[in-house]
Structure 1
């Protein structure tokens, strides 16, 4: 699989605007992008911290993945995302190593990345995202 770096850390939040203000005020970070990913029922905001990003995730639908997460566990760390050269190859590698996956094939995520998730039951309770630039853009 060979991740190149931690791409981002995803944090589930109830209120995106309040959370953006917190990160900007307390840490002096600048939100550089807010985006809605309709098929995942989420609005996202991104901050850079060196080579890694913080992604805030606000549900646009209580029945969506982030809405359900917050209902069950409250706000907080949702996932860690690793950059890989090719998500499809990384999924095949995970499957070959008997690691359960949530996504059988990559899908589109925020910032135009291809993404896929590994099942947290197979990753010691940590929802793990794999992401890469789409092959068509490489």
Structure 2
């Protein structure tokens, strides 16, 4: 059962550029950057088979949630797969567990196999990750066990800890993570049955409850359904477009269901 969302991750092509953009536009940072490869990362598997790859990751704490940027460099990885299929964008959510192998085994028995896994840092710390593509939940979920030490010194951005972000709008917390879906009722039930996420509150997101609605700056009319569940410090939202002009419908047409 998932009791909190620990991390939200975005796959990118140019980690340095995107990291700088977050610092300059929304004041998110400072960042710690790691070369996510051997020897720091070991026992790596891709769809259950031993694999080799090099990635870069950047981490920033945004309130109670860690924001991660993932840039594939070379080798087989789900990050590269995502870029090829969808382009850059939100990729996965992670949650903390005491035993990653146990959590992955339970989900595998329910029909949700691992698509990428590995360990990092000092073996005694037992740091491990495992990405599970739980298709009924419309995104990838990653059970993680974090030790006290990463096992490598990061590159820090900005280098000077005294530097202040120039951002005029500064984000100090991530309140909500949203997933666009085609069948809200079905996906909501799946979250309750697979990861224990709920209870849920469902709303018809339309007039008169919703008003003064605009779409790309112009007055618009639309009907949607939304469902909300609190997962620790973060609200999880499911969004189903019903009719009318909406960014949810645009997303479905361009990307299909997924993190939005």
Determine the C-alpha separation between the residues in 1 that align with 2:138 and 2:113: 13
Q: CA deviation at 1:107?
A: 2.0
Show CA shifts across 1:75-102 (max 9, x none).
Answer: 0011111111221221233234x13121
Q: Decide which of 69, 89, 94 is 1:56's aligned counterpart.
A: 69
Aligned pairs for 1:31-50 (under 5 A) are 31-38=30-37, 39-50=52-63
What is aligned with 1:19?
A: 18
Determine the C-alpha separation between the residues in 1 that align with 2:119 and 2:75: 21
More strand by share: 2
Q: Decide which of 111, 125, 132 is 1:99's aligned counterpart.
A: 111
- 2:137 counterpart of 1:124: yes
> Which ranges in structure 1 are unaligned for 5 or more consecutive residues?
none
Q: CA deviation at 1:120?
A: 3.4
Change (3 A) 1:85 1:76: same
- Does the CA contact (< 8 Å) of 1:12 and 1:75 recur in 2? yes
TM-score by length of 2: 0.44
Q: CA deviation at 1:103?
A: 5.5
- 2:47 counterpart of 1:65: no
> Which ranges in structure 2 are unaligned for 5 or more consecutive residues?
38-51, 148-260
Show CA shifts across 1:111-138 (max 9, x none).
Answer: x8311121233x432011110135xxxx
- Does the CA contact (< 8 Å) of 2:9 and 2:70 recur in 1? yes
Secondary structure of residue in 1 paired with 2:137? coil
TM-score by length of 1: 0.79
- Does the CA contact (< 8 Å) of 1:8 and 1:53 recur in 2? yes
What is aligned with 1:80?
A: 93
State which structure, 1 or 2, has the greater radius of gyration over its C-alpha atoms.
Answer: 2
Name which structure has the greater RCO, CA cutoff 8 Å, separation 6+.
1
Q: CA deviation at 1:27?
A: 1.5
Determine the C-alpha separation between the residues in 2 that align with 1:62 and 1:85: 29
- The alignment covers a number of residue pairs equal to 129
Determine the C-alpha separation between the residues in 2 that align with 1:17 and 1:92: 36
Change (3 A) 1:109 1:40: farther
Determine the C-alpha separation between the residues in 2 that align with 1:124 and 1:5: 16
